[in-house]
């Protein structure tokens, strides 16, 4: 046993020594005078570096060679230094002198540019300072090649030491480069400004008619990548009016003829966005049609599939916004045999969008061809597409059904199964219209394995028990394996048999009896069991009513589930060509940095509020023109209990269908430990809270969040009424709960609480709620203190903002929604100075809105109220008429700044709100309303 280990250790030693020897040899070679031997040595070192070997110990030897006049050797040395400078910042300083010297080389602009480019890649704060002087000179270099490199270099160094770059006025110099006579320099300056803008969070590239002209001119002369930078910058511009938009479009549209697909899509991005500003329908049409041919060219057969993929994703968005752009040219979306599957699936997606009554025949013909192909996934999606067409186009539905009928007849297993699922939807959309295919459907029962297809088939049988003669024996067969089926199939069997019995009592009597028995006694699934119980009771009390309930009219289905809602669509249109368009998601929902900022912790909020503003894309988002909507402060602030109840029911339905595991209250070990710890910690604060506080904050009134008629999730109990409200006591967020027991004989105790993921990461300190048992007829008040270290929901809060909560009792678990006011989430500390306020209020990425609050309040009282609820007064301005404008700022617990300008009038309060995210707007408005109206 010991021998092999000895041998391995010796071999590793020998390899280590061999390695050491190699290093020694390289060192020797580097210290020789011959260029060739040095170069070969560095090549070897870089080769090793690329393979992941650590050659950092050679840093001093390599760095010595920086000052060589051999350009190739120099490039290699630079490459090495870029790689290791970060881990060896002290040694990297050695390189500074060489950079400074090269960057000022009189004779060779190429060398100057190389030095500038390379030093930007050395991300060591320590040396940035030394590089600023040569960088400043290079911005004014006589050679445009050096200037264009310098522009990008500024953006690199800004990443490393933003303060230094700003203090030294380099950003100003960068802006000046927009006036450079050379197009490539301008394009790179645009690019660099946009990079800095993203990380700084404030507008760097001022887009106004003057700069727009500069960019448009540069775009004509720079290379293709420069064109993209210019176009992407232009796409952020909001034109003054239709005329300006049209003028810009005229300059942009020739780019559609560019060879580079990136240029084409970036041009489309501007076209799509600016078309919204045009008024004349004919101009809109003409401009829109300019995009048609270039977009289709992106799909022609010679094009790389990767390009086609991105193009298809974007075309899918473009035609949803402006269908006119691709109306006739459906053939390009026909699948080629050799297309990769991801292209084929995308093409089907587009085809189903393009389908209309004129072209459906042609499309169907193609789709039918596809259903005979070999690739299962593709075939299934083709069948599904036929179904979507049927649901979308009522006139063509019959043709589609005929096509599906043919699919059924193929008897190919997966084709049949997919057809059945699709036909179910068609039957739902057009009840009783296509009964002729029932016979062929029923012939395929044997081959159905897929649970969804099976469930669909059983649903169809149940729906047509009166037409299908042998429905009883078919359902009988399915019932035999009832216990082994997955839940959705069991469910459908139960429903179908119920329908059978109600329609044909004699044929279904025995079946329903046995089935209800099995389902209630032997079934583990509570949903199924409950349904069986309900059926049973309905049948035993009023069969006629049962019939009405079971055969009730169902909501129709439509194709709209596949379309994107307008707000998202517009956001995606702004992101044509970007990843956002490929994922069909807003940037903040997949970009980690944006996401993290959204959930940033309280701990680091105070100092870095401004870094966190990157949360928003650096796009101007002006909401001031959005009138109306969202102002609901004067309406009911809280929903009536029935509204809440309906939401609760919805939530329960969700629970059932999606099985969100909100309630791993007891099982989860680590959480229990955590809760114990927290419980200990919690003791103190709870006591503090319960002492009558100095009571600065407003008290949010209780809202009924659970009606006593609502049963718990396991339907075991009803009769508990819960009222709840989030409050702020001092610097602590607390959930006030009021339990009322309306049962006759049950006692509720052992309360526990857990929050669903939410945007501000709220969670209770402890799961257990300290509360006396609630006896029948009595009421208890309890509190749970809240922290903000919970898991985050990666969505901005919506209006009305509610937290989904699971509440456990000894008897059952209840899912409730508790309304939350933003006022509870204000931070106690003032973190926004006057200067920052000004900066923020000029930032383009803040959403702005004017609001009026129709209340009468004494101005002093208003100030006092705002201030004691953590709106910090930043400044007061008076205009010539003596009207006072008060500027307030508040910070949310996650560090997001909220800015409010207030003008008080005797009858109302005018508000100018600025928030980093538009969804916060109504919430902030609501919170101010609370603060000023509640005591």
Partner 1 sequence: MFGISSIYILDQKGRVLISRQYRNELPANIHETFNKKLLEFDEYTQKPVMIDKDGYTYIFIRHNNLIFMTVCSQNANCLMIFSFLFRLVQVLQEYFVNVEEESIRDNFVVVYELLDEMLDNGYPQTTEFKILKEFIKTESFQLKDKKQPEQTNFNVVALVSNKISWRREGIKYKKNEVFLDVIEKLNILIGQQGNVIKSEIIGQVQVKCMLSGMPELKLGLNDKAFFEAQGRQAKSRAVEFDDIKFHQCVRLSKFENERVIQFIPPDGDFELISYRLDIRVKPLFSVDVLIERKSTTKIEFLVKAKSNFKPKSTANNVEIFVPVPDDAEQPQFRTAHGSVNYMPEKEAMCWSIKQFGGQRDFMMNAVFHLPTIVSPNRDKFQKMPINITFEIPYFTVSGFQVRYLKIQDKSGYNALPWVRYITQNGEYQIRMN
Site for partner 1 in 567-586 (CB under 8 A): 575, 577-583
Integer angstrom CA distances of residue 331 from 326, 334, 373, 453, 506: 11, 5, 18, 31, 55
Contact call for residue 409 and partner 1 (CB under 8 A): no
Residue 186: closest CA among 148, 158, 157, 233: 148
Rank residues 159 and 622 by Cβ distance to partner 1 and give the closer one. Answer: 159
Least distance (Å) from partner 1 to the CB of residue 19?
Answer: 20
Integer angstrom CA distances of residue 749 from 502, 813, 814, 884: 43, 12, 13, 54
Stretch of residues binding partner 1 (CB under 8 A), selected from 107-115, 417-425, 624-632, 879-887 = 107-115
Rank residues 503 and 599 by Cβ distance to partner 1 and give the closer one. Answer: 599
Rank residues 188 and 788 by Cβ distance to partner 1 and give the closer one. Answer: 188
Tokens of 630: 């969202």
Stretch of residues binding partner 1 (CB under 8 A), selected from 258-266, 598-606, 642-650, 653-661 = 258-266
Least distance (Å) from partner 1 to the CB of residue 249?
Answer: 12
897-904 β-sheet, strand order = 847-853, 909-915, 897-904, 884-891, 872-878
Residues in contact with 675: Cβ distance below 8 Å, sequence separation at least 6, in sequence order: 766, 767, 768
Instruction: Show contacts with partner 1 in window 161-180 (CB under 8 A).
Output: none
State yes or no: cis peptide before 800, omega within 30 of 0: yes
Instruction: Show contacts with partner 1 in window 215-244 (CB under 8 A).
Output: 220-221, 223-225, 228-229, 232-233
Instruction: Show contacts with partner 1 in window 6-65 (CB under 8 A).
Output: 39, 43, 46-47, 50-52
Least distance (Å) from partner 1 to the CB of residue 847?
Answer: 19
Q: Specify the residue for token string 């193929």.
A: 410
Rank residues 218 and 500 by Cβ distance to partner 1 and give the closer one. Answer: 218
Contact call for residue 418 and partner 1 (CB under 8 A): no
Rank residues 109 and 797 by Cβ distance to partner 1 and give the closer one. Answer: 109
Residue 382 contacts residue 367 (beta carbons within 8 Å): yes
Stretch of residues binding partner 1 (CB under 8 A), selected from 70-78, 438-446, 541-549, 917-925 = 70-78
Stretch of residues binding partner 1 (CB under 8 A), selected from 101-109, 717-725, 838-846, 869-877 = 101-109
C-alpha 218 chain-centroid distance: 35
Candidate residues 100, 117, 399, 428; the one interacting with partner 1 per rule CB under 8 A: 117
CA distance linking residue 350 with residue 338, whole number of Å: 18
φ, ψ at 912 (rounded to 5°): -120, 115
Helix/strand/coil for 217: helix
Instruction: Show contacts with partner 1 in window 602-661 (CB under 8 A).
Output: 617
Instruction: Show contacts with partner 1 in window 804-823 (CB under 8 A).
Output: none
Least distance (Å) from partner 1 to the CB of residue 582?
Answer: 5
DSSP type of residue 521? I
Residue 369: half-sphere exposure toward Cβ, Cα within 13 Å: 10
Candidate residues 115, 178, 265, 438; the one interacting with partner 1 per rule CB under 8 A: 265
Beta strand ranges found along 590-743 (DSSP E): 703-706, 720-729, 732-741
Residue 506: half-sphere exposure toward Cβ, Cα within 13 Å: 1
Least distance (Å) from partner 1 to the CB of residue 344?
Answer: 10
CA distance linking residue 37 with residue 30, whole number of Å: 7
Stretch of residues binding partner 1 (CB under 8 A), selected from 13-21, 163-171, 209-217, 252-260 = 252-260
Rank residues 147 and 808 by Cβ distance to partner 1 and give the closer one. Answer: 147
For Cα atoms 835, 841, 846, give the angle at the middle one, nearest 5 degrees. Answer: 135
Q: Specify the residue for token string 């101009």.
A: 283
Rank residues 224 and 435 by Cβ distance to partner 1 and give the closer one. Answer: 224
CA distance linking residue 160 with residue 764, whole number of Å: 39
720-729 β-sheet, strand order = 703-706, 720-729, 732-741, 779-787, 763-764
Contact call for residue 159 and partner 1 (CB under 8 A): yes
Rank residues 134 and 508 by Cβ distance to partner 1 and give the closer one. Answer: 134
DSSP 882-896: --EEEEEEEEBTTS-
Instruction: Show contacts with partner 1 in window 339-358 (CB under 8 A).
Output: 341-342
Tokens of 185: 């320099």
Q: Specify the residue for token string 């009783």.
A: 432
Rank residues 350 and 423 by Cβ distance to partner 1 and give the closer one. Answer: 350
Residue 810: closest CA among 774, 766, 765, 764: 774
Rank residues 251 and 504 by Cβ distance to partner 1 and give the closer one. Answer: 251
Residue 146 contacts residue 109 (beta carbons within 8 Å): yes
Instruction: Show contacts with partner 1 in window 364-383 (CB under 8 A).
Output: 366, 369, 372-375, 377
CA distance linking residue 826 with residue 734, whole number of Å: 13
Stretch of residues binding partner 1 (CB under 8 A), selected from 190-198, 455-463, 469-477, 709-717 = 190-198
CA distance linking residue 180 with residue 188, whole number of Å: 11
Stretch of residues binding partner 1 (CB under 8 A), selected from 75-83, 544-552, 662-670, 718-726 = 75-83
Contact call for residue 266 and partner 1 (CB under 8 A): yes
Candidate residues 37, 56, 182, 708; the one interacting with partner 1 per rule CB under 8 A: 182
Rank residues 337 and 907 by Cβ distance to partner 1 and give the closer one. Answer: 337
Stretch of residues binding partner 1 (CB under 8 A), selected from 114-122, 625-633, 808-816, 836-844 = 114-122
Least distance (Å) from partner 1 to the CB of residue 91?
Answer: 18
DSSP type of residue 358? T
CA distance linking residue 760 with residue 766, whole number of Å: 17
Stretch of residues binding partner 1 (CB under 8 A), selected from 188-196, 518-526, 605-613, 916-924 = 188-196
Integer angstrom CA distances of residue 482 from 522, 822, 838, 918, 923: 11, 51, 69, 51, 50
For Cα atoms 294, 296, 298, give the angle at the middle one, nearest 5 degrees. Answer: 75
Least distance (Å) from partner 1 to the CB of residue 75?
Answer: 6
Stretch of residues binding partner 1 (CB under 8 A), selected from 68-76, 385-393, 403-411, 747-755 = 68-76
Contact call for residue 72 and partner 1 (CB under 8 A): yes
Residue 419: closest CA among 394, 396, 392, 450: 450
Candidate residues 22, 175, 198, 244; the one interacting with partner 1 per rule CB under 8 A: 198
Contact call for residue 758 and partner 1 (CB under 8 A): no
Residue 903 contacts residue 883 (beta carbons within 8 Å): yes
Rank residues 324 and 653 by Cβ distance to partner 1 and give the closer one. Answer: 324
Least distance (Å) from partner 1 to the CB of residue 755?
Answer: 23
Candidate residues 8, 176, 179, 257; the one interacting with partner 1 per rule CB under 8 A: 257
Least distance (Å) from partner 1 to the CB of residue 592?
Answer: 3
CA distance linking residue 912 with residue 932, whole number of Å: 16
CA distance linking residue 151 with residue 144, whole number of Å: 10
Least distance (Å) from partner 1 to the CB of residue 179?
Answer: 16
Rank residues 612 and 631 by Cβ distance to partner 1 and give the closer one. Answer: 612
Least distance (Å) from partner 1 to the CB of residue 94?
Answer: 21
Instruction: Show contacts with partner 1 in window 388-407 (CB under 8 A).
Output: none
Contact call for residue 412 and partner 1 (CB under 8 A): no
Number of residues that bind partner 1 (CB under 8 A): 110
CA distance linking residue 569 with residue 317, whole number of Å: 7
Stretch of residues binding partner 1 (CB under 8 A), selected from 150-158, 237-245, 349-357, 635-643 = 150-158
Encoded one letter per residue, x for contact with partner 1 by CB under 8 A and - for no contact, window 296-335 reads xx--xxx-xxxx-xxx-----------------x-xx-x-
Helix (H) or strand (E) holding 785: strand 779-787
Instruction: Show contacts with partner 1 in window 121-140 (CB under 8 A).
Output: 121, 123
């Amino acid at each position: 046993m010991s021998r092999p280990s000895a041998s391995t250790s010796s071999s590793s030693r020998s390899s280590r020594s061999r390695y050491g020897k190699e290093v020694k040899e390289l060192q020797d070679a580097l210290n020789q005078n011959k260029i060739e031997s040095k170069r070969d040595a560095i090549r070897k070192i870089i080769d090793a570096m690329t393979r992941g070997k650590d050659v950092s110990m050679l840093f001093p030897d390599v760095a010595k060679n920086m000052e060589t006049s051999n350009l190739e050797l120099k490039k290699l040395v630079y490459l090495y230094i870029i790689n290791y400078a970060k881990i060896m910042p002290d040694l990297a300083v050695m390189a500074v002198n060489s950079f400074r010297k090269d960057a000022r080389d009189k004779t060779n602009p190429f060398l100057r540019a190389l030095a500038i480019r390379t030093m930007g890649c050395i991300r060591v704060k320590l040396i940035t300072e030394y590089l600023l002087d040569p960088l400043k000179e290079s911005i004014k270099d006589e050679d445009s090649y050096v200037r264009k490199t310098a522009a990008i270099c500024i953006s690199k160094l800004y990443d490393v030491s933003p303060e230094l770059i700003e203090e030294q006025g380099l950003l100003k110099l960068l802006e000046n480069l927009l006036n450079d006579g050379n197009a490539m320099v301008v394009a790179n300056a645009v690019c660099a400004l946009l990079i800095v803008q993203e990380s700084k969070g404030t507008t760097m590239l001022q887009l106004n008619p003057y700069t727009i002209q500069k960019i448009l001119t540069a775009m004509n002369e720079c290379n293709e990548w420069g064109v993209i930078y210019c176009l992407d910058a232009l796409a952020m511009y909001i034109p003054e009016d239709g005329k300006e938009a049209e003028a810009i479009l005229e300059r942009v549209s020739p780019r559609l003829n560019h060879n580079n697909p990136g240029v084409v899509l970036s041009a489309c991005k501007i076209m799509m966005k600016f078309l919204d500003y045009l008024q004349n329908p004919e101009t809109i049409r003409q401009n829109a049609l300019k995009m048609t041919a270039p977009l289709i060219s992106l799909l022609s057969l010679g094009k790389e599939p990767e390009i086609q993929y991105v193009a298809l994703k974007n075309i899918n968005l473009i035609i949803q916004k402006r269908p006119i752009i691709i109306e006739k040219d459906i053939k390009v979306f026909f699948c080629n045999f050799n297309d990769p599957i991801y292209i084929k699936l995308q093409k089907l997606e587009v085809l189903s969008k393009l389908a209309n009554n004129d072209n459906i025949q042609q499309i169907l013909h193609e789709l039918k061809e596809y259903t005979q192909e070999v690739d299962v996934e593709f075939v299934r999606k083709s069948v599904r597409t036929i179904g979507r067409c049927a649901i979308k186009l009522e006139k063509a539905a019959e043709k589609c059904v005929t096509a599906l009928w043919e699919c059924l007849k193929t008897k190919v297993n997966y084709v049949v199964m997919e057809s059945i699922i699709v036909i179910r939807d068609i039957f739902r959309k057009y009840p009783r219209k296509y009964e002729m295919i029932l016979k062929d459907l029923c012939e395929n029962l044997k081959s159905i394995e897929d649970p969804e297809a099976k469930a669909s088939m059983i649903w169809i049988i149940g729906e047509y028990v009166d037409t299908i003669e042998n429905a009883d024996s078919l359902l009988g067969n399915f019932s035999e394996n009832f216990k082994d089926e997955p839940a959705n199939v069991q469910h459908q069997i139960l429903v179908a048999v119920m329908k059978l019995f109600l329609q044909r009592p004699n044929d279904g009597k025995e079946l329903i009896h046995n089935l209800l028995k099995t389902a209630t006694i032997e079934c583990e699934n509570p949903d199924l069991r409950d349904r069986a119980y309900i059926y049973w009771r309905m049948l035993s009390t009023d069969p006629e009513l049962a019939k009405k309930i079971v055969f009730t009219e169902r909501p129709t289905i439509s194709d709209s589930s596949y379309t994107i809602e307008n707000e998202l669509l517009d956001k995606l249109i702004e992101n044509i060509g970007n990843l956002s368009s490929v994922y069909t998601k807003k940037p903040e929902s997949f970009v980690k940095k944006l996401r993290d900022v959204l959930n940033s912790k309280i701990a680091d909020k105070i100092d870095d509020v401004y870094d966190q503003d990157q949360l928003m894309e650096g796009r101007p988002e002006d909401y001031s023109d959005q009138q109306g909507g969202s102002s609901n402060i004067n309406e009911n602030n809280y929903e009536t209990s029935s509204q809440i109840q309906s939401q609760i029911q919805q939530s329960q339905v969700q629970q059932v269908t999606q099985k969100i595991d909100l309630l791993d209250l007891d099982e989860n070990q680590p959480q229990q430990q955590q809760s114990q710890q927290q419980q200990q910690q919690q003791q103190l604060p709870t006591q503090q809270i319960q002492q009558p506080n100095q009571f600065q904050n407003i008290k949010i009134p209780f809202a009924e969040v659970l009606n006593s008629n609502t049963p718990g999730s396991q339907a075991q109990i009803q009769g508990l009424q819960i009222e709840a409200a989030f409050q702020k006591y001092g610097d602590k967020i607390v959930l006030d709960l009021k339990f009322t027991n309306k049962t006759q004989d049950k006692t509720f105790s052992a309360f526990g609480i857990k929050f669903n993921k939410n945007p501000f990461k709220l969670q209770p300190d402890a799961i257990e709620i300290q509360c006396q048992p609630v006896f029948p007829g009595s009421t208890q008040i309890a509190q749970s203190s809240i922290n903000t270290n919970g898991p985050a929901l990666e969505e901005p809060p919506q209006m009305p903002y509610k937290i989904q909560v699971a509440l456990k009792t000894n008897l059952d678990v209840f899912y409730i929604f508790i309304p939350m006011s933003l006022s509870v989430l204000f931070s106690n500390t003032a973190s926004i100075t006057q200067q920052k306020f000004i900066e923020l209020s000029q930032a383009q990425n803040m959403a702005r809105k004017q609001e009026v609050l129709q209340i009468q309040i004494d101005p002093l009282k208003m100030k006092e109220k705002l201030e004691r609820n953590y709106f910090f007064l930043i400044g007061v301005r008076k205009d010539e008429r003596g009207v006072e404008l008060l500027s307030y700022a508040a910070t949310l617990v996650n560090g997001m700044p909220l800015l409010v300008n207030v003008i008080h009038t005797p009858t109302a309060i005018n508000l100018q709100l600025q928030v980093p995210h538009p969804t916060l707007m109504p919430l902030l408005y609501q919170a101010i309303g609370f603060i000023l109206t509640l005591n």
